[in-house]
Structure 1
Amino acid sequence: MVLGTFLHNNYNQKATKVAGAYSSKLKEKLQYVNVNLYDNLEIFLLYTRGFNGALSGNLAFQESTESYSPFYDVDFFEYCLSIPIKYRVDHKIYFKWIKSKYPEAAKYYYEKLHGKINTPLFITKNRWFIIRCINKFLKIIGLNGLYGTFTKNAMNPFDYWYENNKELQKFINSQYNDNIELLDFDKDVKEACIYLFNNGIMTEKFQVLTLLSVTKLLF
Protein backbone atom coordinates (compact mmCIF):
# COMPACT_ATOMS: atom_id res chain seq x y z
CA MET A 1 0.00 0.00 0.00
CA VAL A 2 2.91 2.38 0.47
CA LEU A 3 3.86 2.60 -3.18
CA GLY A 4 0.17 2.24 -3.97
CA THR A 5 -2.58 3.75 -1.85
CA PHE A 6 -5.70 2.77 0.08
CA LEU A 7 -7.55 5.42 -1.92
CA HIS A 8 -9.67 4.68 -4.98
CA ASN A 9 -9.65 8.21 -6.40
CA ASN A 10 -6.93 10.49 -7.75
CA TYR A 11 -7.37 12.93 -4.89
CA ASN A 12 -7.26 12.98 -1.10
CA GLN A 13 -10.04 14.06 1.23
CA LYS A 14 -10.97 14.34 4.89
CA ALA A 15 -11.27 11.09 6.81
CA THR A 16 -14.60 9.75 8.08
CA LYS A 17 -15.14 7.56 11.11
CA VAL A 18 -16.19 4.50 9.10
CA ALA A 19 -13.57 4.84 6.34
CA GLY A 20 -11.86 1.50 5.79
CA ALA A 21 -14.00 -0.27 8.40
CA TYR A 22 -14.56 -4.00 8.07
CA SER A 23 -18.09 -3.47 9.29
CA SER A 24 -20.50 -0.54 9.54
CA LYS A 25 -23.16 -2.38 11.55
CA LEU A 26 -22.13 -0.68 14.81
CA LYS A 27 -20.98 2.63 13.36
CA GLU A 28 -23.08 4.58 15.86
CA LYS A 29 -20.65 3.34 18.54
CA LEU A 30 -17.75 5.25 16.97
CA GLN A 31 -18.28 8.63 18.61
CA TYR A 32 -14.88 8.36 20.30
CA VAL A 33 -12.95 8.21 17.00
CA ASN A 34 -11.25 11.57 16.40
CA VAL A 35 -10.57 11.84 12.68
CA ASN A 36 -9.05 15.29 13.22
CA LEU A 37 -5.90 13.60 14.50
CA TYR A 38 -5.08 12.67 10.89
CA ASP A 39 -4.15 15.07 8.09
CA ASN A 40 -6.28 13.31 5.48
CA LEU A 41 -8.03 10.09 4.51
CA GLU A 42 -4.88 8.36 3.26
CA ILE A 43 -2.99 8.91 6.52
CA PHE A 44 -6.08 7.82 8.49
CA LEU A 45 -6.28 4.57 6.50
CA LEU A 46 -2.54 3.92 6.85
CA TYR A 47 -2.89 4.00 10.62
CA THR A 48 -6.24 2.26 11.05
CA ARG A 49 -6.09 -0.32 8.24
CA GLY A 50 -2.31 -0.57 7.94
CA PHE A 51 -0.44 -0.18 11.21
CA ASN A 52 -3.27 -1.03 13.62
CA GLY A 53 -4.95 -3.55 11.29
CA ALA A 54 -2.84 -5.52 8.83
CA LEU A 55 0.44 -5.24 10.74
CA SER A 56 -1.14 -6.34 14.02
CA GLY A 57 -0.94 -9.86 12.62
CA ASN A 58 2.80 -9.68 13.17
CA LEU A 59 2.24 -9.71 16.93
CA ALA A 60 1.40 -13.41 16.73
CA PHE A 61 4.93 -14.40 15.77
CA GLN A 62 7.10 -11.57 17.10
CA GLU A 63 7.87 -13.61 20.19
CA SER A 64 9.98 -15.85 17.98
CA THR A 65 10.99 -13.85 14.92
CA GLU A 66 10.65 -10.51 13.16
CA SER A 67 9.18 -9.33 9.87
CA TYR A 68 10.83 -6.92 7.51
CA SER A 69 9.97 -5.07 4.34
CA PRO A 70 11.73 -2.43 2.21
CA PHE A 71 8.79 -0.18 3.06
CA TYR A 72 9.78 -0.20 6.74
CA ASP A 73 12.57 2.20 5.80
CA VAL A 74 11.28 5.60 6.94
CA ASP A 75 13.01 7.62 4.21
CA PHE A 76 11.69 5.32 1.49
CA PHE A 77 8.25 5.36 3.09
CA GLU A 78 8.13 9.16 3.09
CA TYR A 79 9.41 9.32 -0.47
CA CYS A 80 6.64 6.98 -1.66
CA LEU A 81 3.99 9.09 0.07
CA SER A 82 5.38 12.21 -1.63
CA ILE A 83 4.52 10.79 -5.07
CA PRO A 84 1.21 12.29 -6.31
CA ILE A 85 -1.76 9.99 -5.71
CA LYS A 86 -2.69 9.93 -9.41
CA TYR A 87 0.48 7.90 -10.04
CA ARG A 88 -0.04 5.56 -7.10
CA VAL A 89 -3.77 4.87 -7.29
CA ASP A 90 -4.72 1.38 -8.57
CA HIS A 91 -1.06 0.37 -8.06
CA LYS A 92 -0.08 2.06 -11.32
CA ILE A 93 3.53 2.87 -10.44
CA TYR A 94 3.87 -0.27 -8.31
CA PHE A 95 2.90 -2.53 -11.21
CA LYS A 96 5.27 -0.67 -13.54
CA TRP A 97 8.03 -1.18 -10.98
CA ILE A 98 7.35 -4.93 -10.77
CA LYS A 99 7.22 -5.36 -14.55
CA SER A 100 10.47 -3.43 -14.95
CA LYS A 101 12.52 -4.79 -12.03
CA TYR A 102 11.02 -8.23 -11.39
CA PRO A 103 9.09 -9.37 -14.48
CA GLU A 104 8.83 -12.96 -13.21
CA ALA A 105 6.56 -11.74 -10.41
CA ALA A 106 4.24 -10.19 -13.00
CA LYS A 107 3.38 -13.69 -14.22
CA TYR A 108 1.51 -14.55 -11.03
CA TYR A 109 -2.28 -14.33 -10.85
CA TYR A 110 -3.29 -11.22 -8.92
CA GLU A 111 -6.50 -11.93 -7.01
CA LYS A 112 -7.72 -8.34 -6.88
CA LEU A 113 -7.52 -8.04 -10.69
CA HIS A 114 -8.66 -11.60 -11.34
CA GLY A 115 -5.73 -11.83 -13.69
CA LYS A 116 -2.05 -10.97 -14.18
CA ILE A 117 -0.73 -7.44 -13.84
CA ASN A 118 0.77 -7.56 -17.34
CA THR A 119 -2.67 -8.12 -18.84
CA PRO A 120 -3.77 -5.07 -20.89
CA LEU A 121 -5.83 -2.71 -18.75
CA PHE A 122 -8.86 -2.64 -21.07
CA ILE A 123 -9.12 -6.44 -20.83
CA THR A 124 -8.84 -6.36 -17.03
CA LYS A 125 -11.49 -3.64 -16.66
CA ASN A 126 -13.94 -5.29 -19.05
CA ARG A 127 -13.47 -8.68 -17.40
CA TRP A 128 -14.04 -7.19 -13.94
CA PHE A 129 -17.19 -5.38 -15.17
CA ILE A 130 -18.60 -8.65 -16.57
CA ILE A 131 -17.76 -10.50 -13.35
CA ARG A 132 -19.54 -7.83 -11.27
CA CYS A 133 -22.64 -8.03 -13.47
CA ILE A 134 -22.77 -11.83 -13.22
CA ASN A 135 -22.16 -11.65 -9.47
CA LYS A 136 -25.00 -9.18 -8.99
CA PHE A 137 -27.41 -11.27 -11.05
CA LEU A 138 -26.56 -14.46 -9.15
CA LYS A 139 -27.11 -12.70 -5.81
CA ILE A 140 -30.46 -11.33 -7.01
CA ILE A 141 -31.67 -14.88 -7.68
CA GLY A 142 -30.40 -16.05 -4.29
CA LEU A 143 -27.03 -17.60 -5.18
CA ASN A 144 -23.59 -16.75 -3.78
CA GLY A 145 -22.03 -15.51 -6.99
CA LEU A 146 -18.66 -16.26 -8.56
CA TYR A 147 -16.54 -14.15 -6.21
CA GLY A 148 -16.76 -13.00 -2.63
CA THR A 149 -16.16 -14.53 0.78
CA PHE A 150 -19.05 -16.97 0.28
CA THR A 151 -17.19 -18.55 -2.64
CA LYS A 152 -13.87 -20.37 -2.81
CA ASN A 153 -12.59 -17.77 -5.30
CA ALA A 154 -12.06 -15.06 -2.67
CA MET A 155 -8.62 -14.17 -1.33
CA ASN A 156 -9.89 -15.06 2.16
CA PRO A 157 -13.04 -17.17 1.64
CA PHE A 158 -13.97 -17.19 5.32
CA ASP A 159 -17.73 -17.56 4.81
CA TYR A 160 -17.21 -20.36 2.29
CA TRP A 161 -15.06 -22.26 4.78
CA TYR A 162 -17.55 -21.64 7.58
CA GLU A 163 -20.46 -22.96 5.52
CA ASN A 164 -18.62 -26.00 4.15
CA ASN A 165 -16.36 -27.06 7.01
CA LYS A 166 -18.60 -28.26 9.84
CA GLU A 167 -15.69 -28.83 12.22
CA LEU A 168 -14.55 -25.24 11.72
CA GLN A 169 -18.12 -24.00 12.15
CA LYS A 170 -18.47 -26.00 15.36
CA PHE A 171 -15.18 -24.62 16.72
CA ILE A 172 -16.06 -20.98 15.93
CA ASN A 173 -19.52 -21.28 17.47
CA SER A 174 -18.16 -23.00 20.58
CA GLN A 175 -15.55 -20.25 21.06
CA TYR A 176 -18.35 -17.72 21.00
CA ASN A 177 -20.79 -19.63 23.19
CA ASP A 178 -18.15 -20.58 25.77
CA ASN A 179 -16.80 -17.05 26.18
CA ILE A 180 -19.58 -14.52 25.53
CA GLU A 181 -20.32 -14.40 29.27
CA LEU A 182 -16.90 -12.79 29.77
CA LEU A 183 -18.57 -9.55 28.71
CA ASP A 184 -21.17 -9.60 31.49
CA PHE A 185 -19.36 -6.64 33.07
CA ASP A 186 -20.57 -4.37 30.23
CA LYS A 187 -24.14 -4.91 29.08
CA ASP A 188 -23.92 -2.58 26.05
CA VAL A 189 -20.75 -4.18 24.69
CA LYS A 190 -22.15 -7.67 25.22
CA GLU A 191 -25.40 -6.84 23.41
CA ALA A 192 -23.45 -5.29 20.53
CA CYS A 193 -21.28 -8.40 20.23
CA ILE A 194 -24.26 -10.73 20.31
CA TYR A 195 -25.90 -8.71 17.54
CA LEU A 196 -22.74 -8.60 15.43
CA PHE A 197 -21.99 -12.32 15.77
CA ASN A 198 -25.54 -13.41 14.99
CA ASN A 199 -26.08 -11.01 12.09
CA GLY A 200 -22.61 -10.53 10.64
CA ILE A 201 -20.48 -12.26 8.03
CA MET A 202 -17.33 -14.06 9.15
CA THR A 203 -15.08 -10.98 9.32
CA GLU A 204 -17.62 -9.50 11.73
CA LYS A 205 -17.84 -12.70 13.75
CA PHE A 206 -14.03 -12.66 13.96
CA GLN A 207 -14.16 -9.17 15.44
CA VAL A 208 -16.30 -10.54 18.26
CA LEU A 209 -14.05 -13.57 18.76
CA THR A 210 -10.99 -11.32 18.86
CA LEU A 211 -12.53 -9.20 21.61
CA LEU A 212 -13.49 -12.33 23.56
CA SER A 213 -9.99 -13.78 23.20
CA VAL A 214 -8.32 -10.58 24.37
CA THR A 215 -10.74 -10.30 27.31
CA LYS A 216 -10.06 -13.90 28.32
CA LEU A 217 -6.29 -13.51 27.98
CA LEU A 218 -5.87 -10.21 29.80
CA PHE A 219 -8.74 -9.95 32.23
Structure 2
Amino acid sequence: MNEEVNTTQEADDDEEVVLERIIPEEEDNTPPPDRFERIQPIFEHLKVDKVEINQEELREKFNRLWQYEDGDNMDEAEQYLLTVALFIYFAHIALDEFNIHTVKARKFVTQALIDWCKPEVDQQVEAEKATDNPFKAFVENGEPRVDATYFWRGFLRDTKKADENQWDYKMKQCWFHKFFIRYGRVDFIESACDFDRIPWKAREDYVDLKLSNTFAKLGSFCQFKYTPKK
Protein backbone atom coordinates (compact mmCIF):
# COMPACT_ATOMS: atom_id res chain seq x y z
CA MET A 1 0.00 0.00 0.00
CA ASN A 2 2.80 2.40 0.93
CA GLU A 3 4.51 1.63 -2.37
CA GLU A 4 1.34 2.60 -4.29
CA VAL A 5 1.05 5.86 -2.34
CA ASN A 6 4.69 6.67 -2.99
CA THR A 7 4.29 5.97 -6.72
CA THR A 8 1.29 8.28 -6.95
CA GLN A 9 3.08 10.98 -4.97
CA GLU A 10 6.11 10.74 -7.26
CA ALA A 11 3.84 11.13 -10.32
CA ASP A 12 2.20 14.21 -8.75
CA ASP A 13 5.60 15.68 -7.94
CA ASP A 14 6.87 15.04 -11.47
CA GLU A 15 3.83 16.78 -12.95
CA GLU A 16 4.29 19.79 -10.68
CA VAL A 17 7.90 20.06 -11.79
CA VAL A 18 6.76 20.05 -15.43
CA LEU A 19 4.09 22.68 -14.74
CA GLU A 20 6.58 24.85 -12.87
CA ARG A 21 9.01 24.59 -15.77
CA ILE A 22 6.32 25.48 -18.30
CA ILE A 23 4.63 28.24 -16.32
CA PRO A 24 6.90 30.99 -14.96
CA GLU A 25 6.23 31.94 -11.35
CA GLU A 26 4.38 35.23 -11.00
CA GLU A 27 3.67 37.46 -8.02
CA ASP A 28 -0.03 37.75 -8.89
CA ASN A 29 -1.88 34.97 -7.07
CA THR A 30 -5.23 35.74 -8.71
CA PRO A 31 -6.86 32.44 -9.79
CA PRO A 32 -7.11 32.06 -13.58
CA PRO A 33 -10.56 32.23 -15.22
CA ASP A 34 -12.46 28.93 -15.12
CA ARG A 35 -12.48 27.38 -18.59
CA PHE A 36 -12.88 23.77 -17.45
CA GLU A 37 -16.16 23.40 -19.36
CA ARG A 38 -14.07 23.16 -22.53
CA ILE A 39 -12.36 19.94 -21.53
CA GLN A 40 -14.84 18.37 -19.09
CA PRO A 41 -17.12 16.90 -21.81
CA ILE A 42 -14.19 14.92 -23.22
CA PHE A 43 -13.18 13.63 -19.79
CA GLU A 44 -16.74 12.37 -19.30
CA HIS A 45 -15.98 9.87 -22.09
CA LEU A 46 -12.73 8.64 -20.50
CA LYS A 47 -13.82 5.25 -19.15
CA VAL A 48 -11.19 3.13 -17.42
CA ASP A 49 -11.92 0.46 -14.80
CA LYS A 50 -10.88 1.40 -11.26
CA VAL A 51 -9.76 4.87 -12.31
CA GLU A 52 -11.36 7.90 -10.70
CA ILE A 53 -9.90 11.27 -11.65
CA ASN A 54 -9.99 14.19 -9.23
CA GLN A 55 -12.01 16.70 -11.25
CA GLU A 56 -11.30 19.70 -9.02
CA GLU A 57 -7.56 19.12 -9.11
CA LEU A 58 -7.78 18.70 -12.86
CA ARG A 59 -9.81 21.91 -13.16
CA GLU A 60 -7.10 23.92 -11.41
CA LYS A 61 -4.29 22.52 -13.56
CA PHE A 62 -6.23 22.90 -16.80
CA ASN A 63 -7.09 26.52 -16.05
CA ARG A 64 -3.46 27.29 -15.28
CA LEU A 65 -2.28 25.96 -18.62
CA TRP A 66 -5.18 27.48 -20.57
CA GLN A 67 -4.23 30.86 -19.13
CA TYR A 68 -0.53 30.27 -19.76
CA GLU A 69 -1.25 29.44 -23.41
CA ASP A 70 -3.41 32.60 -23.62
CA GLY A 71 -6.29 30.44 -24.79
CA ASP A 72 -8.91 33.17 -24.43
CA ASN A 73 -7.16 35.26 -27.08
CA MET A 74 -6.78 32.45 -29.62
CA ASP A 75 -9.16 32.17 -32.55
CA GLU A 76 -11.80 29.44 -32.45
CA ALA A 77 -9.79 26.94 -34.52
CA GLU A 78 -6.74 27.16 -32.29
CA GLN A 79 -8.85 27.01 -29.12
CA TYR A 80 -10.23 23.71 -30.44
CA LEU A 81 -6.72 22.32 -30.96
CA LEU A 82 -5.61 23.55 -27.53
CA THR A 83 -8.61 21.84 -25.91
CA VAL A 84 -7.77 18.52 -27.60
CA ALA A 85 -4.05 18.84 -26.82
CA LEU A 86 -4.64 19.60 -23.14
CA PHE A 87 -7.10 16.72 -22.87
CA ILE A 88 -4.48 14.35 -24.30
CA TYR A 89 -1.85 15.77 -21.96
CA PHE A 90 -3.89 15.61 -18.76
CA ALA A 91 -5.55 12.26 -19.60
CA HIS A 92 -2.18 10.59 -20.07
CA ILE A 93 -0.82 12.21 -16.90
CA ALA A 94 -3.87 11.07 -14.92
CA LEU A 95 -3.72 7.49 -16.21
CA ASP A 96 0.00 7.35 -15.57
CA GLU A 97 -0.75 7.99 -11.89
CA PHE A 98 -2.66 4.68 -11.96
CA ASN A 99 0.33 2.95 -13.57
CA ILE A 100 -1.36 2.91 -16.99
CA HIS A 101 1.51 4.09 -19.10
CA THR A 102 1.46 5.86 -22.45
CA VAL A 103 1.10 3.01 -24.96
CA LYS A 104 -1.63 1.20 -23.00
CA ALA A 105 -3.34 4.47 -22.05
CA ARG A 106 -3.52 5.62 -25.66
CA LYS A 107 -6.46 3.36 -26.51
CA PHE A 108 -8.50 4.88 -23.65
CA VAL A 109 -7.52 8.43 -24.60
CA THR A 110 -8.34 7.84 -28.26
CA GLN A 111 -11.67 6.16 -27.48
CA ALA A 112 -12.71 9.16 -25.37
CA LEU A 113 -11.94 11.45 -28.30
CA ILE A 114 -13.84 9.16 -30.70
CA ASP A 115 -16.91 9.17 -28.43
CA TRP A 116 -16.70 12.96 -28.00
CA CYS A 117 -16.57 13.48 -31.78
CA LYS A 118 -19.15 10.78 -32.55
CA PRO A 119 -22.39 12.84 -32.78
CA GLU A 120 -20.89 15.27 -35.30
CA VAL A 121 -19.02 12.60 -37.27
CA ASP A 122 -22.07 10.30 -37.42
CA GLN A 123 -24.13 13.16 -38.84
CA GLN A 124 -21.50 13.80 -41.52
CA VAL A 125 -21.29 10.12 -42.46
CA GLU A 126 -25.08 9.81 -42.69
CA ALA A 127 -25.24 12.80 -45.05
CA GLU A 128 -22.43 11.42 -47.23
CA LYS A 129 -24.00 7.97 -47.49
CA ALA A 130 -27.28 9.55 -48.58
CA THR A 131 -25.59 10.80 -51.78
CA ASP A 132 -24.88 8.88 -55.00
CA ASN A 133 -21.13 9.10 -54.34
CA PRO A 134 -20.24 9.07 -50.62
CA PHE A 135 -16.52 9.45 -51.27
CA LYS A 136 -17.03 12.52 -53.44
CA ALA A 137 -19.26 14.03 -50.75
CA PHE A 138 -16.60 13.23 -48.15
CA VAL A 139 -13.99 15.16 -50.16
CA GLU A 140 -16.23 18.11 -51.02
CA ASN A 141 -17.40 18.58 -47.43
CA GLY A 142 -14.17 17.51 -45.79
CA GLU A 143 -11.81 19.86 -47.60
CA PRO A 144 -13.27 23.07 -46.10
CA ARG A 145 -13.56 21.42 -42.66
CA VAL A 146 -9.92 20.35 -42.70
CA ASP A 147 -8.89 23.74 -44.04
CA ALA A 148 -10.57 25.42 -41.07
CA THR A 149 -9.26 23.04 -38.41
CA TYR A 150 -5.75 22.46 -39.75
CA PHE A 151 -5.10 26.10 -40.51
CA TRP A 152 -2.10 27.23 -42.53
CA ARG A 153 -0.10 28.79 -39.70
CA GLY A 154 -0.27 25.63 -37.62
CA PHE A 155 0.17 22.96 -40.30
CA LEU A 156 1.39 24.43 -43.61
CA ARG A 157 -1.18 22.17 -45.28
CA ASP A 158 -0.98 21.82 -49.05
CA THR A 159 -3.71 20.04 -51.02
CA LYS A 160 -2.24 18.09 -53.93
CA LYS A 161 -5.51 16.74 -55.28
CA ALA A 162 -9.16 16.78 -54.22
CA ASP A 163 -11.72 15.11 -56.49
CA GLU A 164 -14.01 12.07 -56.65
CA ASN A 165 -11.03 9.74 -57.17
CA GLN A 166 -8.49 10.97 -54.62
CA TRP A 167 -7.96 13.42 -51.79
CA ASP A 168 -4.28 14.02 -51.19
CA TYR A 169 -2.80 16.63 -48.90
CA LYS A 170 0.50 17.14 -47.11
CA MET A 171 1.33 18.91 -43.87
CA LYS A 172 4.83 20.33 -43.54
CA GLN A 173 4.28 21.37 -39.95
CA CYS A 174 2.14 20.11 -37.06
CA TRP A 175 0.67 22.24 -34.29
CA PHE A 176 0.33 19.18 -32.01
CA HIS A 177 3.91 18.11 -32.72
CA LYS A 178 5.26 21.49 -31.60
CA PHE A 179 2.92 21.61 -28.59
CA PHE A 180 4.03 18.30 -27.11
CA ILE A 181 7.69 19.03 -27.78
CA ARG A 182 7.29 22.23 -25.75
CA TYR A 183 5.73 20.23 -22.93
CA GLY A 184 8.49 17.65 -23.03
CA ARG A 185 6.10 14.79 -23.86
CA VAL A 186 6.87 13.65 -27.38
CA ASP A 187 5.39 10.26 -26.41
CA PHE A 188 1.95 11.92 -26.51
CA ILE A 189 2.24 12.97 -30.17
CA GLU A 190 0.95 9.61 -31.41
CA SER A 191 -2.29 10.16 -29.47
CA ALA A 192 -2.81 13.38 -31.44
CA CYS A 193 -2.17 11.38 -34.61
CA ASP A 194 -4.93 8.97 -33.52
CA PHE A 195 -7.23 11.98 -33.15
CA ASP A 196 -6.41 13.04 -36.73
CA ARG A 197 -7.47 9.59 -37.97
CA ILE A 198 -10.94 9.68 -36.37
CA PRO A 199 -12.74 10.98 -39.51
CA TRP A 200 -11.31 8.12 -41.57
CA LYS A 201 -12.00 5.43 -38.95
CA ALA A 202 -15.70 6.35 -39.13
CA ARG A 203 -15.67 5.91 -42.93
CA GLU A 204 -13.59 2.76 -43.38
CA ASP A 205 -16.40 1.07 -45.31
CA TYR A 206 -16.13 3.57 -48.19
CA VAL A 207 -12.77 5.34 -47.73
CA ASP A 208 -9.21 4.00 -47.84
CA LEU A 209 -6.34 5.94 -46.28
CA LYS A 210 -2.65 5.73 -47.02
CA LEU A 211 -0.94 7.76 -44.31
CA SER A 212 2.72 8.75 -44.31
CA ASN A 213 3.25 10.17 -40.84
CA THR A 214 6.69 11.20 -39.61
CA PHE A 215 5.76 13.74 -36.93
CA ALA A 216 5.25 11.04 -34.28
CA LYS A 217 8.89 10.09 -34.86
CA LEU A 218 9.94 13.76 -34.80
CA GLY A 219 9.99 13.95 -38.59
CA SER A 220 9.09 16.88 -40.83
CA PHE A 221 5.86 16.00 -42.68
CA CYS A 222 2.60 14.08 -42.69
CA GLN A 223 0.72 13.10 -45.86
CA PHE A 224 -2.87 11.87 -46.15
CA LYS A 225 -3.98 10.05 -49.32
CA TYR A 226 -7.67 9.14 -49.33
CA THR A 227 -9.17 7.01 -52.12
CA PRO A 228 -12.54 5.26 -52.58
CA LYS A 229 -12.80 1.86 -50.92
CA LYS A 230 -12.35 -0.91 -53.47
Superposition TM-score, scaled by structure 1 size: 0.24
- Which of the two has higher C-alpha Rg? 1
Higher strand share: 2
